Structure 1
Amino acid sequence: MKKFHTKRLLTSSVLATFASVGAANATGYVDDEAGFGFELLLGGMVGQQQSQFDTDDDNAVTQDLNNSGNKSSGVSPAVLAELNYTFANKKTQIFLGQQEENIVRGQDQVELGITQMVGEYSQLELAYFPKLPGFSETWQDPYLTGSARQKTDADSSGFRVAWRYLFDTPLTLRYGFAAADIENERSGQAFGLDANEQKLMQRDGKYHRISAEILAYDEDGFTVTPQLTYTKADTDGDAMAFDAYAFGLETTYSFAERHFTSIYINYAKRDYKGRNPIFNQTQGDDDFGINAIYGYAQPFDFENTSVYLMASYDKGDSNIEFYQSKSLGLLMGVAYEF
């Protein structure tokens, strides 16, 4: 059975849900108890996607550049984990694992970081994520036609900082930085581009993201949080560099003590910097995504345990058909907190 290659669409949303629950329960301490803690989610995902950058074997060959790739579907295990240590004052915590941020490029990252309470609700958080070989893949030359495209690692490393509930207000500010490296970058070689044109297609570079969100409503277990995000991709190739502007809206609802729901809707617009020499025009993208999550705490009265069900849909439109994409996924999992 084929593996589902778009797990980031699901796992990042589940982690964001964990973060939302934690933020909503903030009471002047970063955690209720001092000492070590461990959170683990085990589950499975099933989904389908269509993208020229999907590295599924069924998508290795494209006959031309006037389509958005072959559809691929399959299943994959979901394993999310975080180890943390809370100091005796319960205002400082260090952590290692997968956090809710998907840092600039939308990928799950394994991070090492620290969270510090700086007010009754206000938190400062700093995290670093290293390069992990094999964690993410792409095609060496996505524009090769008629033959199987070869995979290569797409590594990134960087850091993020967040100030949640700034000065004990509903405002949260975030900044993330990532340096991206395509191990064997050969974009445009098979198309016959000259050296200068190939340089325009280089995907290595630096990514910056700034976001602001505000807890606009929080009553009777229901919250509404709008978010604005700006991302700058400063890549080696001008055709791949872009400025992106996004608006997101998250609503959560907790009821009957054990039930939790979350819906997150996001729209993003990307404006690219330079002309794409393969398609002879400048790329422009519009992305839409929606994630819906249901969680149930303490099933069968098992303490520190929750079950989750999540559905995810993402659609990327572009003025160049090659860059259009679509994905749909479903995750079921059991989370346990030690």
Structure 2
Amino acid sequence: MEKINFPPLIAELTANSALYNQWYNDAELKYGPLSTLILMSWMVEVVQPIVLETSALNSAPEKVHEVVKALYLESLKLIGSGLAMRYKEEYKSAWLLLMQLPHLVLKFPVKISSLLHDVLSNLHTYAPAKTVVWCQLMKNSSFDIKTIEDFKIAGRIYAWKCGLAHLRGRLKEDFQTLSEELKHTILKNLSEEATGQVFEFRWSTHTIKFEGMHGGFKGSEGFFEHPPKLAQIDEYLFATDSINNYALFADQFGKVLLPANTVDSNYILSNSKPFDSVEKWLGKGKEQIDAHKISSIVTTKDTLAFTLQNSYFIYLFSIANE
């Protein structure tokens, strides 16, 4: 740790060296040999800047110990699991975001690092290209994030903005609990035209529009081993290929297929509707579709979704905003 030069951090690591060595040894027992060079680099480039900011608010040795302990233990997990190497820039950007929120790190060092990990895990699964975008959106809002609930809700809204469509359901209620300042900042970051109604409507358009497709062949990093079929059960859309079952979430920011292992594929298929006329929904747009190849179709108040006999994808159209 010779490259660490912040005195309170040096004092903490020196005074409790036996503890830190024990935690390091415990991590090696769990994960196998850890790279001391990677750990040193992480401590210097990531942990030290965060501790510098938290110490500016409270430099009491017991508080420094609480913060450094939480960050060190979480760092060992990231390095041991390989996440800090495979997704170095993403995790580095996310952790350095905490420099903007030292008041929350001081109060909730374990919880806030856990929340970060949860968000990044979800982004890596459903929107892997958007992690750095999420970090920038959170950084843009950091001045108005005053509480851990602010952090959770803003983080959830921006994860939705980055493509996690399944989060949309609770956002309208969450948004109303925020301060007016944070509401204004979030809406501005969602889009220049965004209003509180952005949580009301699934799509940003009031006209019929092709919104893309989702799915794909499982052998090519997709989801389905056979062409899937769709069904609406209660308020949810489900897709199955008789082997793999998913709940489908789609809106203006993204498309997500969540595993639905508790739903029987035969139940989904029994609720699946065969071809129905798409003319009333798509008008002239129907000419772009070989309607006779439609294998299942679902229409809701704002969305038309269908599958084709020879395709591994789900096709989506916005049809209204009611």
- With normalisation by structure 1, the TM-score equals 0.24
More strand by share: 1
Greater share of helix: 2
Instruction: Tell me: higher relative CO, structure 1 or 2? Use CA pairs within 8 A at least 6 residues apart.
Output: 1
- Over alpha carbons, which structure has the higher Rg? 2
TM-score by length of 2: 0.25
